[in-house]
Amino acid sequence: MRIDVLSLVPEAFAPLTELGVIGRAFSSGIASLYCHNPRDYTTDRYRKVDDEPYGGGAGMVLKPEPVFAAYEAIPKQGSCRSLLMTPQGIPLQQQKLQEWADNYQQLILICGHYEGFDERIRGLADEEVSLGDFILTGGELPAMTIINGVVRLLPGTVGSAESLIEESHSAGLLEHPHYTRPAEFQGQQVPEVLRSGDHGAIARWRIEQQQQRTRERRPDLWAKWQAQQ
């Protein structure tokens, strides 16, 4: 998968290509990352990318011209999806990450900055995405979250594909508890069923734990999951 990012601080994305399984995915060619700074596409001597908002108000607004120029300079390949990072977008969910990983060869992530961006920039995006009901200084952290979440789902990134199936949110439920050695630690015992060798009983226990955790910790997810059954 090819991932292109439009950002005024492209250097923020360098660690993604250097650390952990995501870094290895980039170095092995599973994914590729290209950053584009709208400031490089300005035409004035001051390389100005923002301006005062029409109608007055606090802060500065990201201008449309350099963003459009940077976007239009990106080579498009195959099935491509453009995502705009904005707190007005749809809250990010695991199902969306899976959809993008499964169905697209290229993602273009547009990061806002300053007080906001010119409304016409929204026309570049197929979808608007938010991490939640809060405000950040720019779209870089949401974009990095999407990159991490999508790349780890690409075949070959994670050693065990089975682990992706069983994790939280993959089936609408939170993940079951995990234990490893020692069997007892500070008076806390690993559940006997996990040490029984009875794979059927273990599977049933894990499903029960998923349901219980979701019901107790995320009643919103629990209600949604029940409605789908």
Q: What is this structure's pTM?
A: 0.88
CA distance 130 to 82: 14
pLDDT band at residue 171 under the 50/70/90 scheme: confident
Q: Are residues 147 and 172 in the same domain?
A: no
Residue 41 token pair: 């596409």
Phi/psi of residue 184, each to 5°?
Answer: -130, 135
- Predicted confidence at residue 133, as pLDDT, reads 94
| 159 within a domain of the structure (yes/no) | no
Q: Are residues 83 and 143 in the same domain?
A: yes
Are 92 and 145 in contact, with CB atoms under 8 Å apart? yes
- Predicted confidence at residue 114, as pLDDT, reads 80
Q: Are residues 145 and 93 in the same domain?
A: yes
- Predicted confidence at residue 113, as pLDDT, reads 86
| 162 within a domain of the structure (yes/no) | no
Written as one letter, the residue type at 5 is: V
- Predicted confidence at residue 161, as pLDDT, reads 60
Residue 24 token pair: 């290895």
Inform me whether the pLDDT recorded for 200 exceeds 70: yes
| 177 within a domain of the structure (yes/no) | yes
Q: Are residues 49 and 145 in the same domain?
A: yes
Total residues belonging to the chain: 229
Q: Are residues 133 and 176 in the same domain?
A: no
Inform me whether the pLDDT recorded for 11 exceeds 80: yes
Residue 137 token pair: 């200084």
Q: Provide the domain count of the chain.
A: 2
**Residue 52, Cβ neighbours under 10 Å: how many?**
12
Q: Are residues 38 and 141 in the same domain?
A: yes
Q: Are residues 195 and 141 in the same domain?
A: no
**Domain termination site, one of 98, 127, 151:** 151
Q: Mind listing the pLDDT tens digit for each residue in 26-69?
A: 999 999 999 999 999 999 999 999 999 999 988 999 999 999 99
**Domain termination site, one of 101, 119, 151:** 151
Phi/psi of residue 59, each to 5°?
Answer: 80, 175
**Domain termination site, one of 151, 181, 211:** 151
Q: Are residues 203 and 106 in the same domain?
A: no
For residues 157-174, give the mean pLDDT.
70
Written as one letter, the residue type at 111 is: C
Q: Are residues 181 and 113 in the same domain?
A: no
Q: Are strands 188-189 and 184-185 parallel, antiparallel or unpaired?
A: antiparallel
Q: Mind listing the pLDDT tens digit for each residue in 104-151?
A: 999 999 999 888 999 999 999 999 999 999 999 999 999 999 999 999
Q: Are residues 84 and 189 in the same domain?
A: no
Q: Are residues 22 and 112 in the same domain?
A: yes
pLDDT band at residue 169 under the 50/70/90 scheme: low
- Predicted confidence at residue 146, as pLDDT, reads 98
CA distance 32 to 89: 25
Q: At what angle do helices 140-151 and 20-27 cross, to 10 degrees?
A: 70
Are 128 and 90 in contact, with CB atoms under 8 Å apart? yes
Residues 6+ apart with CB under 8 A from 77: 2, 105, 106
User: Could you tell me the maximum CA-CA distance found in the chain, to the nearest angstrom?
Assistant: 72
Question: Which structural domain, as residue segments, surrounds residue 180?
Answer: 167-228
| 111 within a domain of the structure (yes/no) | yes
Q: Are residues 96 and 139 in the same domain?
A: yes
| Dihedral in degrees, nearest 10, Cα atoms 14, 19, 20, 26 | 40
| 55 within a domain of the structure (yes/no) | yes
CATH number where 185 lies = 1.10.1270.20
Q: Mind listing the pLDDT tens digit for each residue in 204-227?
A: 999 999 999 999 999 999 999 999
